[in-house]
Structure 1
Amino acid sequence: MTKNRKFVVAMSLATMMIMQGAVSLFAKGTDGQWMSGEYHLHTTQSKDAGEKVTLTEHILDAAFKEIDLEAEGWSKAAAWELPTQTTDAEGAAFDYLVLADHLRPSFRNPDGRAQDLAFYQGLQQQIAKIKELQATGKYEGKLIFTGFEWDMLGLDHAAVGIVAANEEEMIEGIKAFEYFFSKETKDTYFTSEDVEKYGERHNENTKENTFRAVQWLKDNYPNSYVLINHPARKDGGEAELKIEDIRKMNDIAPNIVFGFEGILGNQMSNDGRGESKEVYGGADGMLAEVGGMWDALLGEGRRFFTFANSDFHFKVRKDPTGGSYSGYWPGEYSRNYTWVEGDTMNDLADALRSGKSFSVTGDLIDTLDFTAKGKTEKVEMGSTLKVQKGEEVTITVRFKSPEVNNYQTIFGTDTETTNKVAVDHIDLISGEVTGKVSQSSKDYTNPTNETTRVIQTFTSEDWTTDEEGYNTLTFTVKADKDRYYRLRGTNLDINVEGQTDEMGNPLRDEVKERPSADSINDHNYSDLWFYSNPIFVDVQG
């Protein structure tokens, strides 16, 4: 029997940057394939990620499951610092990875040795290190890029990817961006020739300079991207990210500011899951609240998409009683699945921009085919279906789950949590698309979409499973108004104490005083979700 339920909303965004000349993931000329990965994590080159195990090589080893525990550094790590090793989950290794150290001075090189350089100089070291590792035969067939996390001026963070014609132009773009828009990089990191070349800096901590930076990227590197990270983290503070800030950045450069970090990193944080108080089942409020900020943007028809990231700095810093806990290694807990056509950095950027992707925690699913079909046309996530008013629209969802995920205890504490994976239910969410609001409109500051609803909830009684293991369900509706449709799914039933309400909505993740690492880990692995990007339906007549 199908259960009808309702839900609530949220907010989140991210940033990134990418390196040319990476090893191709697939041969030229292929139509494309699903790839898993992420674009927001840190190495020892970020000052707040200074563990011995966070060297560039170790991060890549973990993401691509090429860990040699006998290697220098790994062998000296405490067990709780290491990424989870045991998993039968298919696709456990990432296919692509974008490193994103802070756009701040580079105090360590990729091997952890102390230094004092501008970020762009440290980034060149990181690129050289990646190439050196690839030359030994490591990470064959993987797409590896390097980028940065920007302290947006007057706001919080974003992942920035400067996409250029070649590596030399990319480095020049990063250097210029750092000069103009990094509040952490001092004047003394640049030469008199640099000052003469670039002129006035615009790194005062104001939102206006963030908007200026987005325009600069559009004018100089138009294939780049700025993806907002942990959007609700500064709620109530001076750097609070408001919907009008997102709208303005997207208005300036919709091809660059096209998404956000909806499933947060730092899920092991003992200062609130994802280092934020507005987290619901591991998702930022911007994503989690039905009818909230994301739905408000989608209701304008904005192609603005959600992603997941680890934001990895370290896992467990000390011991089970007095330690600090940050997040999961890349690929250990969360991941994006993105459909990529081609074999270059531009192709990956375009793939993220297309919206044909979904994000997941705890490997709840590893395959999702979400389509909408009218009389003559069928489209997928990120696309628009054009139909006549009154025409039937058939929505089809096909998904798979692995048998197990990466769960294991950190300190061996007894627990009822397991690594078995199963979807309890999937919600189909829809809202009306009424058109983009102008900056002069009173609705420009409105962070809600009152038309958004959970229009159908599906359980295992509603889907069939074929011989290949695909679970399939369909839903048919008559086209009435311009709309979008999106999915969320979870392993949880309705009314689970501390996790879901009587309608199945995720509850706010509690911030507990001095929680143990195992209690955080167990909670996270018992509370799994996936989110799709939307399909738009444009009704003619």
Structure 2
Amino acid sequence: MRPFLLLAVLAAPLSACAADHDRAWQAGDHHVHSEWSVDWDRSTTPPTPVPGGDSPYTRSRNARQALHYGLTWMVHTDHGGPGHSAVTRDRAWPALEQARRDVPALIQFNGMEFDVPAAEHASLIIAPSARERDELVEIERRFSRNERVDGVQRDDLQTMLDALAHMRALPAPPLMFVNHPSRTATGVGRWGDVEPAELRAWHDTAPRVLVGMEGAPGHQAIRSERGLYRNASAPTFGGFDQMTTQVGGVWDALLAEGRRFWITATSDSHHNLRDGGRDYDPGEYSKTYVWARRDAHDILDGLRHGRMFAVTGDLIDTLELTVRAADGSTPAATLGETLVLPAGATMHIELKVRQPTTPNAHGQRPALAQLELIVGHAGTGDAPRMQTRRWSAGTWRREGAWHVVRWDLPVPAGGGFVRARGSSTQEPTPLADVRGEDPWRDLGFYTNPVFVDAAPVR
């Protein structure tokens, strides 16, 4: 187990952060496809890219839809293929420049759905700079699993580790989030192309690059298999991936080791349901809210450091999760931050959430049915020790527009973490999603954690 660090940044509450740094909740989506997720004519050597193969939409169209559904930022993430780095350089990059001109109100990042060597997919987000085109082209050309037009074998763990080492050494390191991590699982806890050991190896190699995973995968509009999790024995749960939803599961195990490892929600938009597809537009159903200024670099900083929460169906649009000493002797820490308290001291946890004042994209104003606080710390062996407390509607406090819950409990001896979630259902634990389920009747949110380090008692 990795010990919790005693060095920490003690943060002011969110309201103070807003005053000091002009930060606010910025909604976004880091997994969006366009016409440059091409098909391939394999009758030629090398294969010829065919625009529109996996999505009919231009990048400008996607940007307009993202803005329409309330997003501040978006990442363009077309997937690769044999020699796709040339498409990235010559076609997708000019399309991004055009989209930035067409929709200047939306912050748009250069990126791709990276074909992870010896695994599946990840969202790669390039930091804006004069080299953002060339950095992405080089990463794809050298390390993408499916780039293989030169005969070089790239489908092995070492190539992924080399890719991460290359990225962490860049002057402005990019970000990477693992996409739909359990989509190839064969059961609950029976992993496919993405295994917990791989997540640990990748994170060990570049903890400031490979920073998390999709907690809620895209493709939520399809009714036959939510999220395209096609194996009925390994579905999503309330629209979220099993690695995220299982209390004491993979995500909690990583957090109990002290890893700063975050979750997000994305659309994985290819082809909208209205147009005969199986997806929602960016921001139409899923959003990742980042506590940041309306600035590309600060949004990336928020993504890198876990100042964010994931939500579906606009169940909420604002929250505050804070942890402080119950006696008021410390400032509060919030999402992604660390608070140092003596072991055994009482910590005070407060969760405040607010729901939108306007209907969601489905014309609904969904009711919030429950809130849950989740506390974890290292246990014996690989399994973390967990505590939870749940409130149903009517049992929490109302303070103006806020729904508020509070919990006081001792700091775990070895330190730990606090996270929160809520949903529009009465399910105490999210149930497996089934064929035909209406995603708009099963909404949820998950926060990223606040860490608590246990200082020695003097």
TM-score scaled to structure 1, two decimals? 0.71
Give runs of aligned pairs for residues 218-257 of structure 1, distance below 5 A: 218-221=168-171, 223-236=173-186, 240-257=193-210
**Counterpart secondary structure, 1:314:** coil
- The answer on whether the counterparts of 1:123 and 1:146 sit within 8 Å (CA) in structure 2 is no
- The answer on whether the counterparts of 1:100 and 1:159 sit within 8 Å (CA) in structure 2 is yes
Q: Distance in 1 between matches of 2:390 and 2:373?
A: 6
Aligned to 2:157: 207
Q: Distance in 2 between matches of 1:282 and 1:352?
A: 21
Relative distance call for 1:365 and 1:106 in structure 2 (3 A) is farther
User: Does residue 370 of the first structure (1) align with residue 361 of the second (2)?
Assistant: no
**Counterpart secondary structure, 1:232:** coil
- The answer on whether the counterparts of 2:244 and 2:250 sit within 8 Å (CA) in structure 1 is yes
Structure 1 gap segments, 5+ residues each: 1-28, 66-91, 108-115, 189-200, 320-324, 409-417, 436-442, 494-499, 513-518
- The answer on whether the counterparts of 1:211 and 1:249 sit within 8 Å (CA) in structure 2 is yes
Relative distance call for 1:238 and 1:526 in structure 2 (3 A) is closer
**Counterpart secondary structure, 1:233:** coil
Q: Which residue of 502, 515, 530 corresponds with 2:445?
A: 530
Q: Distance in 1 between matches of 2:147 and 2:108?
A: 26
**Counterpart secondary structure, 1:94:** coil
Relative distance call for 1:318 and 1:127 in structure 2 (3 A) is closer
Q: Deviations over 1:397-448 (max 9, x none)?
A: 111112554354xxxxxxxxx713211111111111469xxxxxxx6xx5xx
Aligned to 2:291: 339
Q: Which residue of 60, 65, 82 corresponds with 1:57?
A: 60
Q: What amino acid does structure 1 have at the position aligned with 2:236?
A: V
Give runs of aligned pairs for residues 358-507 of structure 1, distance below 5 A: 358-374=309-325, 375-403=329-357, 405-408=359-362, 419-433=364-378, 449-453=383-387, 455-467=388-400, 469-481=401-413, 482-493=415-426, 500=427, 504-507=428-431
Q: Distance in 2 between matches of 1:223 and 1:286?
A: 26
User: Does residue 99 of the first structure (1) align with residue 76 of the second (2)?
Assistant: yes
Residue 211 (structure 1) shift = 1.5
Q: Distance in 1 between matches of 2:87 and 2:356?
A: 44
Residue 506 (structure 1) shift = 1.0
**Counterpart secondary structure, 2:333:** strand
In terms of Rg, which structure is larger?
1
Q: Which residue of 25, 34, 47 corresponds with 1:43?
A: 34
Q: What amino acid does structure 2 have at the position aligned with 1:335?
A: K
Q: What amino acid does structure 2 have at the position aligned with 1:245?
A: E
Q: What amino acid does structure 2 have at the position aligned with 1:538?
A: D
Q: Which residue of 78, 84, 101 corresponds with 1:132?
A: 101
Q: Distance in 1 between matches of 2:184 and 2:176?
A: 18
- The answer on whether the counterparts of 2:368 and 2:422 sit within 8 Å (CA) in structure 1 is yes
Residue 214 (structure 1) shift = 0.9
Higher relative contact order (CA 8 A, sep 6+): 1
User: How many residues align structurally?
Assistant: 414
Aligned to 1:175: 137
Relative distance call for 1:267 and 1:61 in structure 2 (3 A) is same
Q: Deviations over 1:360-385 (max 9, x none)?
A: 00111111011001122211011111
Q: What amino acid does structure 2 have at the position aligned with 1:252?
A: T
Structure 2 gap segments, 5+ residues each: 1-19, 40-51
TM-score scaled to structure 2, two decimals? 0.84
- The answer on whether the counterparts of 2:100 and 2:108 sit within 8 Å (CA) in structure 1 is no
Residue 158 (structure 1) shift = 0.3
Residue 209 (structure 1) shift = 1.1
Q: What amino acid does structure 2 have at the position aligned with 1:215?
A: A
RMSD: 2.6
Q: Deviations over 1:324-381 (max 9, x none)?
A: x4211111101011011472x3322111011111110011111101100112221101
Q: Deviations over 1:450-488 (max 9, x none)?
A: 4123x2111233322233x11222111122421111111
Q: Distance in 1 between matches of 2:305 and 2:319?
A: 16
Aligned to 1:163: 127
Relative distance call for 1:260 and 1:51 in structure 2 (3 A) is closer
Runs of 4+ in 1 over 4 A off after TM superposition: 48-53, 236-239
Residue 179 (structure 1) shift = 1.8
Aligned to 2:49: none
Q: Distance in 1 between matches of 2:361 and 2:125?
A: 32
